[in-house]
Structure 1
Amino acid sequence: MTAITNTKPKILYSCYFARSRQGEHFIPEHVFSYQVSGEMIASDSKNTYHSKPGDFRLSKRNHLAKFIKIPPEGGEFKSISLFLDQEILREISNEYNIKIQRKTDSESMIPLASDPLYKSFIESLISYLEVEQENNEALFKLKIKEAIHLLIKVNPELKDILFDFTEPGKIDLEAFMNKNFHFNVHLNRFAYLTGRSLATFKRDFEKVFQQTPGKWLLNKRLQEAYYLIKQGNPPSEVYIGVGFEDLSHFSFSFKKKFGVVPSSLFSK
């Protein structure tokens, strides 16, 4: 079961019995999350984060992440995520004249110590999420505003993160792509995160790498896959880790480049 509003504001209640799921995504908004049951392992280009039942976390906006969601044996994976969108944060900033004191460079996911205020808030929210409801946008907006006020009350240092409305600036394209090529997102996401329009990103990319982004990404991912398989990692795990969506497409591209299928290389 997944209960989710169709329009902003958005609160997501993930709940399923299935085996471990993995995927990746671009995080466009700050997300306040609580792990009800099961575990989630998330990673960015630098760190790995492990959330267990009872854990709270804040995922910062404008980051790329891979994740694995693991249900407990014989049980359900459950998590609650509140998307703290820019519109609501700006409303609070204007209403209470909240300004950041300084820009912060914290990690993309911030573990939050458990607090009675957080716990009581989540308990009050679960009853709404476990029953399908209509016309809940106004209620969810109030709950998201409540969550924001709780966050800056319990963790005042988060103010400089939540109310920083600046967009990504132009950064070193080569360094960024070498760190993040394995994330399977559209080029416009890479462009945005490097502080460029899509047209400027493509133009700058070809100046730096002497290739189009599509060709470079394919070759880079295949080279990384070759190395990982030679190190003893199974192709069925490698293809997702290096940024491919489909195993058959990965195998076809791998054979075209290296002359052998990934499984034959792994078996040697």
Structure 2
Amino acid sequence: MTPPIVFYDIPSTLPNKAWSPNTWKTRYALNYKGVPYTTVWVEYPDIEPLCRDIGATPTSTKADGRPHYTLPIIHDPSTGLVVSDSTKIAAYLDATYSDTPRLIPFGTMGLQRAFEAAAQSLLAPVTQYGHPAANAKLNPTSEAYIRRTREAMWRKTLEELTPKGAEDVVQWAKVKEGFGKMDEWIGASGEGSAYIMGDAPCYADMWIAGYVVWIKLILPDKWEDMKLWHGGRWATLLQNLEKYETVM
């Protein structure tokens, strides 16, 4: 029997360890397709050495020109391939395991990429809440690494990044506005549509769900507000995809 796919994720102190919105996208995808996999947990300082060791492709370039390595990454022993980036992983899984439910319907990769770029822009306001809250849930090694590198980059402490008082009201309203636009996109598929392409989930829905479950896990007070937004759209999305949240 072929060994399962190795899925590299970042651990936290949460009960099931999984927390990252980006790796959640791949976890949803693997579980949805029913492809056997096992999780290997990697602390932040160990990501770049791991990637270089297994031959993973960097996902971007740092400001100083050096390659930037991120998770998720999968290594598929059945093909020997290592794939970086959650969207590329979804495309790989569709191509390699074509007898399982598709994540990206035929002919829609361009649309999926366009959606991703537009949604990423809409979700920018939530990161000022998410980065500090997520860092508080990391194991000590990763927490110290993220604090050191991000505070040097942003020139402020993580605590200073979180909006407070009147600024919190303004910024959280922007988060709601961004999710409201995505609610409109889903609603455009037809009255009562649960997913962006209608009745069945696709990778774009898992992309959104990655961020929604992230907020639920690391910002529980904000989630109490968010789960009521847009007719309960986001709480319903997580309920619908809950069966694909298994951590293996």
Place the TM-score, normalised by the shorter chain, in its bin.
0.3 to 0.5
Where is the helix percentage greater, Structure 1 or Structure 2? 2
Considering Cα pairs closer than 8 Å and 6+ residues apart, tell me whether 1 or 2 has the greater RCO: 2
Instruction: Give the TM-score taking structure 2 as reference length.
Output: 0.33
Answer 1 or 2: which has greater strand percent.
1
